[in-house]
Structure formats: structure tokens, C-alpha cells
Chain A
Amino acid sequence: MSEQTAVAAGSTGPTKYADPVARRALMAGVSAEPGSAKPDAILTVDHIIRNFGGMTAVHVDHLEVQRGIITALIGPNGAGKTTFFNLITGFDRPSSAKSGAHWSFNGRKLDKTSASSVALAGMVRTFQLTKSLNRMTVMDNMMLGARGQRGENLLTAMFKGTWGAQEKQIEAKAYDLLNRFSLYAKRNDYAGSLSGGQRKLLEMARALMSDPTMIMLDEPMAGVNPALTQSLLGHIQSLRDEGMTVLFVEHDMHVVRHISDWVVVMAEGRMVAEGPADTVMSNPAVIDAYLGAHHDTDLGDDSLLSDEAMEEISQEVAAEEAQRDEEQETK
């Protein structure tokens, strides 16, 4: 399906990273350490810390995001994924802003730029809680995404002659994208009348109106039904195949395994592991921090309610605690 949609959008066609083998070869040389160097990093983040009172929500020493592939950022609830997103897109300021927080995108320093300048640099994001503009039509939502509109200048806005032609071009582009995201029939409806999943699609399509270099999706699948998830995944993959860099936050491990080329795992504000999707899941640090030690146990299993099973678990827990105490003593 991805090829089909790519053709429909009239884009430049598949790029070198459209081939899974090429992507695997590219990332094969990268070590699976947190903060490892990438062959061609589009986004480099250094020493970003964000404290809320006494709690450290995000503490990232170093992270690089490879250009042209899909990178997933996963982690349990409260791991700081969204806060990290907000920090690097200019919606929040790091607490370490004056003590060595640096991040650059596409060779451009972003340390002190506002959210709008980050977007203008080519890094466009979506939100976990969809920010569709509900009391405007789907089409108006789309048109707002386009960059460099002459009619948005107050001095020329009153004279349609100065922006009419450009408006037509933007309209054509918006129709194309709406078509690709199956929202064309809804173009004149108010965005508030769309379903949650359609709003996710609209937000993604709107972000694409600005021709971003990298798109950052904050939980694109949250609240979307399984059927629509499939098509969303297809869209994300086709974006990658056209040469866009994708960084997305997700909870659902199946989704991550299915489409991401590289996975970064966050827990308690830190990057705990990195690696290709299939191997990072078996990393003990990830299993411990993210899935929990008992991730294989089915909590809905009635056999667990027996006394023997409970005893077994409590023994396990006791053994673990003893081991932890030992470790601390040796330290």
C-alpha cells in the first residue's frame, strides 16, 4: 500500500532508504548502546535535563537520530517521552538551558529557538492529545499548515490579487494530501465532527502541508481503532520511503516492532537502551525497566490464583530483594 500512496501524492518516489535491506545495512554498524553515534544524524541532542520541582522528568545525556529512517521512542508511562518531545520542539525549556543543554537539527542550533522557528527549520510535530482546530473546516485546517503564505502578511492580506494564485496551489496540495489520508470527502466538514482517528490523520496531513524534513509524531496510534491503525502505519512507512525522517512516541510494542527501523527506550527520564526493534526488546535493561520482571505472566490467568502460584511469586520477589540488598552492600 505504501508504494501506492507514494505515487498518489505525486512525490519524488522511493529513496535509497525505501529498501529494508539498505536500512538494515545502514544501522548494522551502529552499536546498541544508549547515545550511540549514527552514520548521518539529523538530530543531535546533548545534556537536556528538565526538572519539575524535585522530580527529574527528563535527563538525556546524548542522543542522535538517524536521517531517513523511522525511529521509535518507547517507554512506560511517565518515562518523559512527551516532555522530551516538548523540550526539543521548543514548547518547553530545559532546566539545564544555561548549563550546557544543546541540540541541533540538520546542522542548525536550536538551543534558544521558539516553537515556531523549530517548525520552520523543518521539524514539525503532532500532539498526543490531537490539536485539530475544531471550529474550522478540515480544509481550513490543512491550509494553515502551508508555509510562507503571502496572504498571512497583514499588509498584503486585504488584496486578493497578491495571494490568490498561491492559495490555489496550496489548495491543490491540500486536496492531494486529504485524498491520500482518505479525508477528501470530509474537506468541508468542521474538524470537530471528525472521529478521534480521523483527527489524528488530519493532524498528520496538516503537518505534512509544510513539507517537513522530519516529522515527530506523539502517540499517533493512541485511541485509534485497529483498522485505522493499519492505514496510519502504512502512511508513516510511505513517508519514510519518500525520504522523510520520522521520530515517533508509542506505547504499543507490536506497532513499534512492525514499522520502526531503530528503537530508543526511555525509562524514568533517561535513555536506557537503543537498537533495532527485534533485538532491543530482548535487552534485559529494557525488559526490566519497561516491561517489568513479570511481563510474561498473565495476570488474568485463573491458575495464578492458587496458593502455590502465589507462594512461588512471593519467593521470587523475596529472592530478588535479597539479591538487590546484596548488590547494594557490595557497592
Chain B
Amino acid sequence: MSTLSESIPTPDAAQTGETQAGVYDPNDPEGPPPERRFLIAATIFVAYFVVVLLAAKYAPGTAGNIARGMLRESISAQTAAVAIAIIGLNIHFGYTGLLNMGQAGFMMLGAYGFSISIWHGLPMVVGILMGMLAAFVFALILGVPTLKLRGDYLAIVTISAAEILRYIGRLARLEDFSGAAQGIPGSQYREPFTNLSFFGDGTWDGGGWLPELQLTGVNGWWVRFVAWLLVAVCCLLVFLLVRSPWGRLLRGIREDEDAIRSLGKNVFAIKMQALIIGGLFGALGGMLYILPASMQPDAMGRSLTFFCWTALLLGGAATVFGPVMGAVLFFALRIFIQGTSNAVVPDSVMNTSQAAQFAWICVGVTLMLLVIFRPQGILGDKRELRFNV
């Protein structure tokens, strides 16, 4: 191998220089480099927590209530659970370009596998494995027929498959097995998990300093600690995966499958791997999602999938921390809109339950605005989305 500098033939250099002049504009604003962009976003994120914490502690009246609601939502175990599901969705969509519209289906399979197993007397480890196995098989069944086709087919199949699963879970026939529409009460499967706690009952309030977080035995520090720890582990896993040549392959498939095929790579196998891994993250998120609540099939319908999508696009697809930031801000923002509109708008115009609905409407509008005006989200790289494919 020769050195790099010695052998550029001069006519070539002149020619390429000539061709690039018309196309490449050095004054084009490319935005700050990735590291700085991340630092800015992280600063905003930390500042958000400080402000909310202080407001929750010291703000008077309604403002304090809203801030406490936002703080509770931001650190809740369910937010962490959704964040993990979004991390999985990010592998599907952000890195591989797979349009998975049924992430809630993966979550539900994980949750069902976990809760049904424990409810029927199996140990917790078996429950976790069952949930993972169910998601694995689901990914295989969805992937085999659709991954060889164009991307849209996967979207259609996943959204309908997730709905089919939900309706099967609701079947009255299966009441003794899956709990049907009422689901499975948390008390039936939670105990093996809470018994592991080394935070006691998990209702520590910072010696009276922390604002009211409505901590209970089922929603205490233990489940929050485990959930956020798992978020960190998942982020680390994704970071390790996407910096590898395997991650490069995923992004290549997102850009152009045929090009990757022409380079001798087995595109189908890689897409299947991505679908399975993202689905497993979804299943893990599903298990955590039901830990502080109860197993209800209707809580994991289409709307949960769309929350995942909105939060992913808000945080920034194809970034490691985007899903986490997106999940936290998404749920906190909803509480903020709900609380504010409730406090500002008189009841004769919009009552409390309408304010809650109004907040969800805002979520839909947010998703639209994001896709139109800031497709890269908070953390995403503008250049990765600027060029038409």
C-alpha cells in the first residue's frame, strides 16, 4: 500500500474540483457538529429537570401541581418502559428503516408472557424468558413473509398483527388464561419482583425535602431504579451495536437495500436480526410497563404505538439517546398541556376530561409538525435527513 498523498493525478483533481463547485456549497449551514449538538441537547435536558424539580418544590398553587405532575411523569417507571420500547423501535425505523407500526404488539407479548407465566405459578425468570420468546417468534412470523417485500408491507402487517393479538388477549373464552378484557391485576404477578427490592418499600421521600411524588409500594424507587437502569443498559447495547460494522450495515439497508445486496450481503438476514432485536427491546419495555400497573390489553393498543413513534421523532431517530429524551419530554409535555389548559381555560369551555383529550390532540399535531418542520428531532443529524433518497 502506498502513501496517500503522493499519487493523486493532477488532471483528475482539477476535474473533480470543477464538478463539485456547482453542487457543494461550503456556506451551506450544516448545523453544529454532532458532539456539540449532543452537549446542547443534554444541557437543555438537565436544565429541564432542575427547573421542574425546583418548580415542583417551591412553585405555589396550580403551577406547583403541574410541575409535580411533570416530575412524576418524567421519572416514572412506565416512562422508562416506553423509552425501552422506543429504543427498540429506533433500531427498526431509525437505523434499519423498517416501518414497524406494531411496537405495542411486541410490548404486549412481553407483558403477557411475563404476567401469565407468573400468574400460573411459574418463577419470574421463566416469565421473562417466555415474554422474550413470544416476541422472538412474533418477529419471525411477521418478518418471513414481509421482509422480502417493500417496506410498506411490514407497516400494514405489523399494525394489523398487533391488533389481532390484542383482540385475542381480550377473548372472553381465555379468561382463565389471559384475564380477557379485564386483564390481570398487578398483584397477581408483581410479588416476585418487589420481593427482590433492596430499597424496602421504596417510598423514601428524601427526608421530607423531595416534592410529593405519590410513591406507593408498587410505584416506588425500586421499580423506578430497575427501569431506568435497564434504559441505561439498553442505550449502551444500542451504542455498541450501531458503532460496529453491523450497525453500518443496518444504515446501509435503510438507504438502499439493492445497493447492499449488490455488495454481497444477505439483506434479509440482517433485517430479520434487526426486527428481532428491536422486538425484544419492545418485550422488555412491555414487562416493565405493567409492573407498577396491571396487565390490560387495551392499554397496549395502537395509541401506544403512535406515542412511541411521536416520542422517537421528537427525540431524534437514528440517535442513541434520542428515544430516552423523546420519551421523557413527550410524557411531561402532555401533562404540561393538560394541566395548563385545565387551569387557564374555564370549565364552561373545556372541563377536566376534555383537557385530557385536548392534550392527546396536541400530541397528534406535534407529530405532524415534527415530521414537517424538524424531521431530525431534537438530537438527530440534519444532514442524515436532508438529502432525498
Measured in the bound complex, the distance between the Cα atoms of B243 and A172 in whole Å is 18
Q: Does A237 contact B (CB under 8 A)?
A: no
Given contacts A8-B7, A147-B264, A210-B264, contact A133 B259 (CB under 8 A): yes
Of A50-58, A176-184, A250-258, A282-290, the segment with at least 4 beta carbons within 8 Å of chain B is A176-184
Asked whether any CB of chain B lies closer than 8 Å to the CB of A10, the reply is: yes
- Among B19, B252, B264, B277, the residue within 8 A (CB) of A228 is B19
Report the bound CA distance from A180 to B1 in whole Å. Answer: 12
**Cβ < 8 Å to A, chain B residues 9-67:** 9, 11-16, 18-20, 22-24
Q: Is A225 interfacial (CB-CB < 8 Å)?
A: yes
Give the number of residue pairs across the A-B interface with Cβ within 8 Å: 181
Is B152 an interface position by the 8 A CB rule? no
Q: Which of B8, B20, B241, B266 contacts A158 (CB 8 A)?
A: B241
| A91 nearest in chain B by CB position | B258
Contact present for B255 and A151 (CB under 8 Å):
no
Cβ–Cβ < 8 Å partners of A76 in chain B: none
Cα A49 to Cα B119 in complex, Å, equals 61
- B383 interfacial by beta-carbon distance below 8 Å: yes
Chain B residues 244-291 with CB under 8 Å of chain A are 244-249, 251-252, 254-256, 258-267, 270, 273, 277
Cα distance, A132 to B259, chains bound together (Å): 8
Residues of A within 8 A of B237 (CB): 158
Does B384 reach chain A (CB closer than 8 Å)? yes
Instruction: Answer whether residue B386 sits at the interface, using C-beta atoms and an 8 A cutoff.
Output: yes
Are B246 and A152 in contact, with the CB atoms below 8 A?
A: yes
Q: What residues of B have a CB within 8 angstroms of the CB of A197 in the complex? A: 16, 19
A:192-233 near B, CB below 8 Å: 192-195, 197-198, 203, 206-207, 209-210, 225, 227-228, 230-231
- CB pair A131 B259 closer than 8 Å: yes
| A145 contact set on B, CB distance < 8 A | 263
Which residues in B have their C-beta under 8 angstroms from that of A228?
15-16, 19
Q: Shortest beta-carbon distance, A26 to chain B, in Å?
A: 29
Residues of chain B within 8 A (CB-CB) of A114 are: 261
**Complex partner residue of A119 from B12, B263, B383, CB under 8 angstroms:** B263
Q: Are B389 and A134 in contact (CB under 8 A)?
A: yes
CB proximity of B318 to chain A, nearest CB, Å: 9
- A206: nearest chain-B partner, CB-CB: B263
| Chain B residues, Cβ within 8 Å of A151 | 244-246
Partner of B265, one of A116, A118, A132, A195: A116
Which residues of chain A in 77-135 are interfacial with respect to chain B, using CB atoms and an 8 Å cutoff? 89, 91, 114-120, 124-127, 131-135
User: Does residue A153 face the partner (Cβ distance < 8 Å to B)?
Assistant: yes
Is A136 touching B262 in the complex (CB atoms < 8 A)?
Answer: no
Report the separation of the CA atoms of residues A175 and B7 in the bound assembly, to the nearest whole angstrom: 12
**Dominant SS among interface residues on chain A:** helix
Q: Are A163 and B244 in contact (CB under 8 A)?
A: yes
Contacting pair B16 A183 (CB below 8 A): yes
- A17 within 8 Å of B (CB atoms): no
In Å, the complex CA distance between A136 and B386 comes to 11
A167 proximal to B (CB < 8 A): yes
CA distance A172 to B383 in the complex (A): 26
Pairwise interchain contact B262-A231, C-beta atoms closer than 8 A: no
Q: When the two chains form their complex, are residues A207 and B244 in contact, meaning their CB atoms are under 8 A apart?
A: no
One of B20, B244, B259, B389 near A195 (C-beta < 8 A): B20
How distant is the Cα of A176 from the Cα of B6 in the complex, in angstroms? 11
Within 8 A of B (CB), among A154-185: 154, 157-160, 163, 167, 172-173, 175-176, 179-180, 182-184
Contact A7 B4 (CB under 8 A): no
Given known pairs A144-B249, A154-B273, the reply for A116 and B261 (CB within 8 Å) is yes
Q: B229 near A: Cβ within 8 Å?
A: no
The interface bits of chain A over 29-67 (1 if a CB of B lies within 8 angstroms of the residue's CB, else 0) are: 000000000000000000000000000000000000000
Interface centre among B8, B14, B241 (most CB of A within 10 A): B8
- What separation, in Å, do the CA atoms of A135 and B387 have in the docked complex? 7
The reply to whether B15 and A133 contact each other, CB–CB distance below 8 Å, is no
Q: Does A149 contact B (CB under 8 A)?
A: yes
Q: Does B385 lie at the interface of the complex (its beta carbon under 8 Å from any beta carbon of A)?
A: yes
Expressed in whole angstroms, the minimum distance between the Cβ of B342 and any Cβ of chain A is 42
* Distance (whole angstroms) from the CB of A7 to the closest CB of chain B: 7
A8 close to B265 (CB less than 8 A): no
A193 pairs with B23, CB closer than 8 A: yes
A190 in contact with B387 given A115-B262, A140-B248, A152-B246 (CB within 8 Å): yes
B251 & A140 in contact (Cβ 8 Å cutoff): yes
A1 at the interface (CB under 8 A from B): yes
Contacting residues, chain B, for A159 (C-beta < 8 A): 240
Cβ distance A221 to chain B, nearest Cβ, rounded Å: 14
Let me know if A231 and B267 touch, CB within 8 A.
no
Any A CB within 8 A of the CB of B348? no
Asked if A225 contacts B248 (CB within 8 A), the reply is no
B353 at the A interface (CB under 8 A): no
Chain B min CB distance to A156 (Å): 8
- B277 partner residues in chain A, CB cutoff 8 A: 154
Indicate if the CB atoms of A10 and B385 lie closer than 8 Å: no
Since A144-B248, A175-B4 are in contact, a sample of 16 more A-B pairs with Cβ atoms closer than 8 Å, ordered by chain A residue number, is A10-B1, A116-B261, A116-B267, A119-B264, A124-B263, A140-B252, A151-B245, A152-B265, A157-B240, A160-B243, A179-B7, A182-B8, A184-B4, A192-B387, A209-B263, A225-B19
Can you identify 30 A-B contacts, CB atoms within 8 angstroms?
Answer: A8-B2, A8-B7, A91-B258, A115-B258, A115-B261, A116-B266, A127-B262, A131-B258, A131-B259, A131-B262, A134-B387, A134-B388, A134-B389, A135-B389, A136-B248, A136-B251, A144-B252, A150-B245, A151-B245, A152-B245, A153-B246, A154-B277, A157-B244, A157-B245, A176-B2, A182-B12, A192-B383, A194-B24, A195-B22, A210-B264
6 closest residue pairs by CB, A with B: A192-B387, A119-B264, A151-B245, A157-B246, A8-B7, A131-B259
